[in-house]
């Protein structure tokens, strides 16, 4: 799982989740909370007070930015997104909505005087329009039998592409006749649930007409099928795009269902002709993920992100371009040993901007289509998460780091200068005393260079000694880049007096594809040696208390914690594992994306191939007899990626072994913790456990 993709997914999920709640009274409209910052210390309550940047859209005349900000009310356990506009230089900021339910997927209409957006009313999620100042709200859709998830207008504004959640047909409805209160589910295939939801509906694209007042004549491009477009859980409207002439739509789809869906990552780019209603597979024979198509401004080229191998979700993300006349495909980043994302053609179609991760930083690059050369546009310790071209001189991008959440930056293409123009959280950040972030390189056990991010407590004093945490990344192939998290937040860990060591161990992108691929089939191998190298080398520092070390992590990071618990040779004094894999035999049959366990573990536990046998032999549950260290286990019931029984089994094993343990369980959360009060309870448990074993005198 890629962390940047994850962040955008979380944003869209939260907006949708809170928007669909019953209407609140007008006085309950959620805005920027007032917080009391004491001694500059970041607390869980302050963390949930940050404004979160939502959808960003630039007007057609390139003069005005439309964006959303999400704020949370902890006491109400709710969040809300309102819309804002500002000029391209960051001035003239205006809040244009102040409602008791979120507006999202906001975009400009071609006249630059009208804004369209999604809104949850009493009939469900619908599409609305309003003037650019927020006045004259009008409902323009009347979607029944499913809800709107996203939309996009044709270049001339006369047609609309609507993503609608289509209810899945219940072929066993005849068995439920007269049983209106039954809660039973009947399945006869795989892929019946995914990440955090049962597959009760399917996102599919519809094309309709738009006259400025209403949407009519919606037709489903995938009528009569159960194929997804966009693909859940990460895909959004960026997986589909209009051609500049408005005559065709390129869309991403994995035309598989059930068991075939669960075992494959083979998605393709399809071209739908609006007049003839014919569909062409543009990437037939390309076996991995092909997604996120983007047309050049003249419509002659189509670019997209492509993976080569079926079943490998962390394969190199390649930049592919097709000549739409000859249908010839060129692989433009063959000699570029990095991933690409967020593709965007330059206005003159002579280049393609993209974002790429290198050594734990996500920066903006430009590929010159005349000679296929690549130039890095931005420099710095940060992550860019989106880019929009303003003109030949400037880009508009969203950027974050371990020291601040997403903000809008204006980027000078010529000299790379970057200016924060949104300043959503600048005032709050000024009140906080944040820790210093440093990059360190160590030598791994095989002699290769290993990078880590080190985050120090505020007011760090090198003459003192500090308890120190090893952070174990999830994914498993998701970079420890400059992300700002609202749960695994390094600054709040530092604010509680801990040094954090966050290594980019084997199996993470941004250090070449060979480095990234090493982890597959070797979960208990070099990646674990890298973790131990990182913490051992830091333990040599005079300011690190080697007798007060902890290890924490989620997902594959949780697996890492469980594995280290049986192999750490008394290095650590406590562990925290969130939604981690504990029993790999169990995991193979409980998870929902079978391509993942097949690739990463080498197959099923009954397979006799040496990779699979090595994987299952390194399952953490096989080393419980060597556990001797206090363990906090956190898990959520609605995590269908790594189900709750994994955490329960690990906790039970610790208790049975007589090891101090605690189990924090969320019946209503997923692979993540999304609700404000649950998030704060998570943080309080996290630090209560660490403080008990790493700060209190024994």
On whether the CB atoms of residues 420 and 407 are closer than 8 A, the answer is yes
Residue 2 class from Cβ within 10 Å (0-12 exposed, 13-18 middle, 19+ buried)? Answer: buried
7-21, 579-593, 598-612, 632-646, range with the lowest pLDDT: 7-21
Is the confidence at residue 2, as pLDDT, over 70?
Answer: no
pLDDT in tens, 437-492: 999 999 999 999 999 999 999 999 999 999 999 999 999 999 999 999 999 999 99
Mean pLDDT of 216-231: 97
Is the confidence at residue 295, as pLDDT, over 80?
Answer: yes
Calculate the average pLDDT of the chain.
95
Contacts 24+ apart (CB under 8 A), 34-37: 35/428, 37/428, 37/431, 37/432
CATH for 433-694 (3.40.50.1820, 3.10.20.30, 3.40.50.300, 1.10.1370.30): 3.40.50.1820
Mean pLDDT of 293-319: 98
Is the confidence at residue 673, as pLDDT, over 80?
Answer: yes
Domain ranges, ordered by start, for the chain: 1-110, 433-694
Tokens at 566, concatenated = 């049986």
pLDDT in tens, 524-580: 999 999 999 999 999 999 999 999 999 999 999 999 999 999 999 999 999 999 999
Mean pLDDT of 121-144: 95
> What is the pLDDT at residue 100?
85
On whether the CB atoms of residues 2 and 42 are closer than 8 A, the answer is no
Is the confidence at residue 3, as pLDDT, over 50?
Answer: no
Tokens at 32, concatenated = 């920027």
Alpha-carbon torsion, ordered 627, 629, 632, 637, to 10 deg: 0
Tell me which residues are annotated as active site.
555, 639, 671
* Tokens 């996102």 -> residue: 203
> What is the pLDDT at residue 29?
86
> What is the pLDDT at residue 279?
98
- Of residues 12 and 229, more confidence is placed in 229
> What is the pLDDT at residue 698?
63
Mean pLDDT of 635-646: 97
């Amino acid at each position: 799982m890629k962390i940047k993709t994850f962040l955008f997914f979380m944003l869209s999920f939260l907006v949708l989740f809170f928007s669909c709640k019953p209407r609140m009274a007008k006085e309950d409209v959620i805005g920027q909370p007032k917080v009391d910052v004491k001694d500059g210390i970041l607390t869980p309550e302050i963390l949930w007070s940050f404004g979160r940047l939502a959808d960003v859209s630039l007007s057609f005349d390139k003069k005005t930015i439309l964006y959303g900000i999400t704020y949370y009310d902890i006491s109400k356990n709710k969040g809300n997104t309102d819309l804002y506009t500002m000029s391209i230089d960051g001035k003239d900021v205006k809040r244009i909505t102040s409602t008791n339910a979120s507006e999202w997927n906001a975009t400009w209409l071609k006249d630059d005087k009208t804004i369209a957006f999604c809104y949850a009313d009493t009939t469900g999620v619908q599409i609305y329009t309003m003037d650019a100042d927020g006045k004259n709200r009008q409902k323009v859709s009347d979607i029944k039998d499913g809800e709107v998830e996203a939309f996009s207008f044709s270049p001339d504004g006369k047609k609309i592409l609507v993503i609608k959640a289509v209810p899945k047909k219940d072929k066993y409805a005849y068995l439920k006749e007269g049983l209106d209160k039954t809660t039973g589910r009947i399945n006869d295939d795989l892929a019946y649930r995914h990440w955090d939801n049962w597959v009760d509906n399917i996102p599919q694209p519809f094309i309709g007409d738009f006259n400025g007042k209403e949407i009519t004549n919606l037709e489903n491009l995938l009528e009569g099928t159960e194929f997804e477009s966009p693909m859940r859980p990460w895909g959004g409207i960026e997986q589909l795009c209009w051609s500049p002439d408005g005559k065709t739509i390129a869309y991403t789809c994995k035309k598989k269902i059930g068991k075939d869906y669960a075992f494959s990552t083979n998605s393709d780019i399809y071209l739908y002709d609006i007049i003839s209603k014919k569909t062409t597979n543009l990437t037939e024979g390309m076996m991995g993920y092909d997604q996120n198509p983007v047309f050049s401004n003249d419509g002659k080229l189509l670019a997209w992100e492509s993976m080569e191998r079926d079943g490998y979700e962390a394969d190199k993300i390649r930049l592919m371009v097709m000549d739409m006349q000859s249908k010839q495909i060129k692989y433009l980043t063959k000699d570029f040993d990095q991933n690409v994302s967020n593709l965007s053609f330059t206005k003159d179609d002579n280049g393609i901007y993209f974002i790429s991760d290198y050594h734990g930083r996500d920066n903006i690059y430009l590929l010159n289509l005349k000679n296929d050369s690549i130039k890095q546009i931005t420099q710095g310790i940060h992550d860019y998460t989106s880019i929009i071209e303003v003109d030949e001189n400037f880009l508009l991008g969203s950027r974050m780091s371990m020291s601040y959440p997403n903000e809008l930056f204006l980027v000078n293409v010529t000299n790379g200068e970057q200016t924060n123009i949104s300043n959503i959280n600048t005032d709050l950040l000024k009140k906080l005393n944040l820790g210093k972030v440093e990059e360190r390189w160590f030598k791994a056990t095989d002699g290769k260079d290993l990078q880590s991010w080190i985050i120090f407590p505020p007011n760090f004093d090198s003459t003192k000694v500090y308890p120190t945490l090893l952070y174990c990344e999830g994914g498993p192939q998701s970079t420890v880049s400059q992300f700002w998290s609202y749960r695994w937040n390094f600054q709040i860990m530092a604010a509680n007096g801990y040094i954090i060591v966050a290594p980019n161990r084997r199996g993470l992108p941004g250090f070449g594809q060979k480095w990234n691929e090493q982890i597959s089939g070797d979960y208990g191998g070099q990646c674990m040696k890298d973790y131990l190298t990182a913490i051992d080398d830091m333990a040599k520092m005079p300011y690190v208390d080697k007798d007060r070390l902890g290890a924490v992590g989620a997902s594959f990071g949780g697996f890492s914690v469980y594995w280290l618990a049986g192999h750490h040779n008394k290095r650590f004094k406590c562990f925290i594992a969130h939604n981690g894999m504990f029993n790999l035999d169990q995991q193979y049959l409980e998870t929902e994306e079978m391509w993942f366990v097949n690739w990463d573990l080498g197959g099923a536990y009954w397979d006799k191939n040496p990779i699979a046998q090595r994987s299952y032999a390194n399952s953490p549950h096989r080393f419980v007899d060597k556990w001797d260290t206090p363990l906090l286990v956190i898990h959520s019931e609605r995590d269908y990626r790594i189900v709750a029984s994994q955490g329960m089994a690990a906790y039970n094993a610790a208790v049975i072994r007589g090891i101090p343990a605690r189990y924090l369980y969320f019946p209503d959360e997923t692979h993540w913790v999304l609700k404000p009060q649950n998030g704060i309870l998570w943080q309080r448990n996290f630090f209560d456990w660490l403080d008990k074993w790493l700060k209190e005198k024994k």
